[in-house]
Amino acid sequence: MKFINIVSLIVCILASFTSTSRADVWKHEREWDAKDEIEFVKWISSDSFNRRIFIDPASAYAGLATDCADVVYAARIIFAYEHKLNFRSFNSVKEDGVFWKKTISNNTNLFDKYAEGPARVKAFITYLGKYSDTKFLAEEDSYPVGLKDIRPGDFYITEQPFGETTIRHTYIVKKVYASGIFDLYYSTLPYMVRELKVHRGLPLFSFAREPFGFRRFKAPFLINTPEAELPSFSLEQYDLLKKTGPENVLAEVSKRIRTEEEGLAGRLDRLLGNLCRSMDDRIEAINEAQRFLQSVGGRCVNRAEFNNFSTPVKDQRIKSQIDVLSQFWKAVVAQKRTTDFAKDKTAGMNYLIGLPEGSAVEHKKLCADYPQIPLTIKEFRDLFDAGKISSHPNDTVPVRWGREGNPTQCQNYY
């Protein structure tokens, strides 16, 4: 009898040890199914998924750092956790110096040291952000969808060459407009806690090949389904790409999903809003670089730090936005449609494209909602074209904005 009691005690202890040492990230009550995909779309469209989800003190996910693909993974994981659903995706593992892929789910016990609940979920998201980048998101965890089927929760991935490196970027679709444009949420480098950024319109950078473009995350129940059998699967955008080329494919995408016209005044407000937000975002990026330099005694950044704190993509994005805005206004002038706009806005836009009836005073007001921006739109364009706008994190703030000062002698990595 005594022997039996000892054995029972040992079994209980081992069972207790096993249950506490192999905790799930969260325990799901049911498998994610097709109905949950519809609910996910509604959740992304709602205020539950908002720009302040990672910085609002009232949010359970406040303090979560993100950069690019993290936002897509975070959205799927948070929805699954809050609705007690399963989650599954691919990530990379390094063994003996070689990377290979494997699947990971909410049943993993890698995060047992974190408190059960949001803290453990945030640790899971952080882990996937490190080991499941945009490449995994495009190639392993998603598939291309038909253009008319693009919906909130889908995402867009692009890649751009910069010198000897390639930069990839991801937007998650928040809203699809009848005019053929989108509200796109995104994060960026450096990896940090931030309010999600928003762009209204088409992605600013095109795609040139598979597997980039508009894609949908594979739900757990679809992970082993042949790609051609996935819901809304389509190679339409890549067929379109072959016909139009990267320069025109996004405009053609917009035409195919458009069901009503945006209107000239609406388009100008959208273009200006995006551009002014991008210039304002650049202030944050430069200030973050300055804080980092102070923390390291002002030394030259290394390659990894340069990748995190330089702004070539942001700077080119602003220049591209200015070019699009200028082309739009030139078309308005050519069509003699300037009377469709308020006189002050017309004068400000005329100044941008060099018409004699333009007004520098009114031009300065085009970004009046962002008074901290140190340059007007025209000033930024002219300084960029002159090669004076600096993307280098070691440059001083005035030099970063093309003002007087001595450029840094630190290495420029691209």
Domain boundaries, the chain: 18-260, 264-400
Give me the pLDDT at residue 103, please: 86
- Residue 153, exposed/middle/buried by CB under 10 A (0-12, 13-18, 19+)? buried
Q: Which amino acid is at 307?
A: N
Convert the pLDDT of each residue in 83-127 to its tens digit.
999 999 987 655 555 556 788 999 999 999 999 999 999 999 999
Q: Which amino acid is at 308?
A: N
Q: Which pLDDT band holds residue 308 (cuts at 50, 70, 90)? A: confident
pTM of the model: 0.78
Mean of pLDDT values over 42-62: 96
Give me the pLDDT at residue 6, please: 46
Render 119-157 in DSSP notation, one character per residue.
HHHHHHHHHHHHHS-HHHHHHTSEEEB-GGG--BTBEEE
What one-character DSSP code corresponds to residue 340? G
3-state helix, strand, coil in the chain (%, to 5): 45, 15, 40
Q: How far is CA 215 from CA 48, 75, 170, 229, in A?
A: 22, 15, 10, 15
- The whole-chain average pLDDT of the chain stands at 90
Helix, strand, or coil (residue 190): coil
295 Cβ neighbours under 8 A, 6+ residues apart: none
Q: Which pLDDT band holds residue 192 (cuts at 50, 70, 90)? A: confident
Q: Residue 48 and residue 110: Cα distance in Å, rounded? A: 28
Mean of pLDDT values over 329-334: 97
Strand positions, DSSP E, 153-204:
155-162, 165-176, 182-186, 197-201
35 or 93, which is more confident: 35
Mean of pLDDT values over 167-194: 91
